[in-house]
Structure 1
């Protein structure tokens, strides 16, 4: 890092097609910085995820200012950090490591990215009773965001019930005045029928995993639907929900939100989230822009 420049990286597996580098670089340059963002793909480097500590040290020695961290290193990186932001500690996951005076400081901008996405994209949405599908890394972030927003009852659904219960066990003590529980097949029908909104945080709907994660007709008409999937930006879930009259929030807003929050922490300068959103849709292609326009800006 120099007075006007930032060298930033992304550590993970299969990340060469990530949209994070171009988002960071363009916005960093809009902000007046010489901003260089590089991918450190474990597969291309022939490195094990267990090498994340060594990669941190190598990046520090090479002059990196920060590193984003993605699958499968968000938990593995924690033992190598000198300091951990309280939210990242609560979540047990880090997606951003700042390098300051040789020290590694861990943050998580996934949860803040989703939080800001929900507030900006569905500002009037009810948040009393929420059902969430998925309790992996992304689900951990969205659940934490929802609970910080004061959701009274959060029912978590997962194909692996023990994973949903583990997330409940992690968060319930942190939010004692709120009802955090693992939903069961017997409870799910009532949970969906009475939900103010549903958050989908599983791979279902990606190009490689087509389909619907749940029966959208089970929702009350006023319920909203948020998806974390953004390739495609207009998933089958969102298209179905919109057709049935539900307000929707696409996964691109979380992707942009976490990137914007990372840039703010790295540079100390406020990025332009709307400008980043427009660039993100441009990177996805014309179909994404058309889908966003068709949804009134909320796709």
Structure 2
């Protein structure tokens, strides 16, 4: 049995997460659904001075003090796997976890990055060509995005990462799960050349987020006709998305994936399906209140 429907204490485990919008997104939706006992906290490793390698201990300690579910973000999505008692099919496939549900004292890992990106892609870029795609980033989130792209029907997927061995590993695992998708690891320096014959590109690296400014590759490599997706949502309008928008490219901002994965996580930890459209509207309100330009509706 899971937690009682009226009592949920959720935490987000990660580093440098002070500006995360997840607490506001979750608690607003809980209020709308009448879940008065819903609480969402930040467990920031930077604030506590705990290294990412100790995230598995942080997870267990959180459960010991009463957390009923946890979100996991950069850079802990792969580290925490060893701390769990069970993995969902998606988490096992991807090799990374972003949601942990506590059931009868057992920690069960899920991956809603996978389902969230797939839902965001289908909603935000419904008619786009998916034959040849380049993916920058093969970490926990990048691995999930790679599987989602293969599931969406990408025929030729090229994956680059600062750690070439990590890119090669994700390619091998995606190829085993999706034989019809040709996967090729490439060097980060080779992204620009690969984009010349590609339909789209996804940034699933931390580059572009608060604390990691810049772009994952030279934006001069972008060209009209290329669709561009970024899973970074702090800020929503990353340098990559801004450059792509200026060229007239179809874009998918990180807010789309944020809402989709948050909705899936909410359902897992409460057993209640939220309203993604309401969550999407609320995200737009949060960003507007911060004076942040939003592409949520422009990129539909």
Give the TM-score normalised by the residue count of structure 1: 0.88
Distance 1:243 1:153 in 2: 27
Which among 16, 19, 24 is matched to residue 18 of structure 2?
16
Among candidates 141, 149, 162, match of residue 144 of structure 2: 141
Work out whether residues 281 and 288 of structure 1, in 8 Å CA contact, stay in contact via their aligned partners in 2.
no
1:154-183 C-alpha deviation (Å, 9 max, x unpaired): 011233333322221232222222100013
Q: Is the 8 A contact 1:147 1:175 kept in 2?
A: yes
Aligned partners of 2:191, 2:56: CA distance in 1, in Å? 41
CA 1:43–1:214: 2 relative to 1, 3 Å:
closer
Task: Evaluate the alpha carbon distance shift between residue 119 and residue 181 of structure 1 in structure 2; reply closer, same or farther with a 3 A threshold.
Answer: same
Matched residue, 1:237: 240
CA distance in 2, matches of 1:98, 1:207: 28
Aligned pair partner of 2:186 in 183, 188, 195: 183
- 2:295 is paired with a residue whose SS is helix
| Residues 229 and 58 of structure 1: CA distance in aligned 2, closer, same or farther (over 3 Å) | closer
- Aligned 8 A contact 2:5 2:270 in 1: no
Structure 2 contact 230–253 (Cα < 8 Å) conserved = yes
Hey, what does 1:7 align to over in structure 2? 9
Q: Sort the Cα spacing of 1:63 and 1:187 in 2 relative to 1 into closer, same or farther, 3 A.
A: closer
Deviation at 1:247, TM superposition (A): 0.6
Aligned pair 1:292/2:300, yes or no? no
Deviation larger for 150-159 or 183-192: 183-192
Match of 1:97 among 92, 97, 100: 100
Which has the larger displacement, 147-156 or 203-212?
A: 203-212
Say if 2:288 and 2:294, in contact at 8 Å, map to a contact too. Answer: no
Structure 1 runs of 4+ aligned residues shifted over 6 Å read: none
Instruction: Describe the superposition over 1:84-140 as per-residue Cα deviations: whole angstroms up to 9, x where unpaired.
Output: 011111221111110011111110111211111111111111111111122222211
Q: CA RMSD in A?
A: 2.5
Structure 1 residues 280 and 58: CA distance shift in structure 2, 3 A: same
Kept after mapping to 2: 8 A contact 1:195/1:219: no
Distance 1:66 1:283 in 2: 24
Q: Do 1:113 and 1:258's aligned partners in 2 also have CA atoms closer than 8 Å?
A: yes
* Alignment counterpart, residue 30 of structure 1, candidates 29, 32, 40: 32
> What is the aligned partner in structure 1 of residue 126 from structure 2?
123
Q: Is this contact kept in 2: 1:8–1:64, CA < 8 A?
A: yes
Structure 2 residues not aligned, in runs of 5+: none
Please tell me whether the aligned partners of residues 260 and 273 of structure 1 are also in contact (alpha carbons under 8 angstroms). yes
Residues in 2 aligned to 1:16 and 1:211: alpha-carbon distance in whole angstroms: 20
Q: Secondary structure at the match of 1:98?
A: strand
Q: 1:171 aligns with which of 170, 174, 185?
A: 174
Paired with 1:183 and 1:46, the residues of 2 have a C-alpha distance of: 35
Give the length in aligned residue pairs. Answer: 297
Q: Could you say which residue in structure 2 is the equivalent of 1:111?
A: 114
CA–CA distance in structure 1, aligned partners of residues 51 and 136 of structure 2: 30
For residues 122 and 134 of structure 2, what CA distance do their matches in structure 1 show?
17
Instruction: Say whether the 8 Å CA contact 1:195–1:220 is kept in structure 2.
Output: no
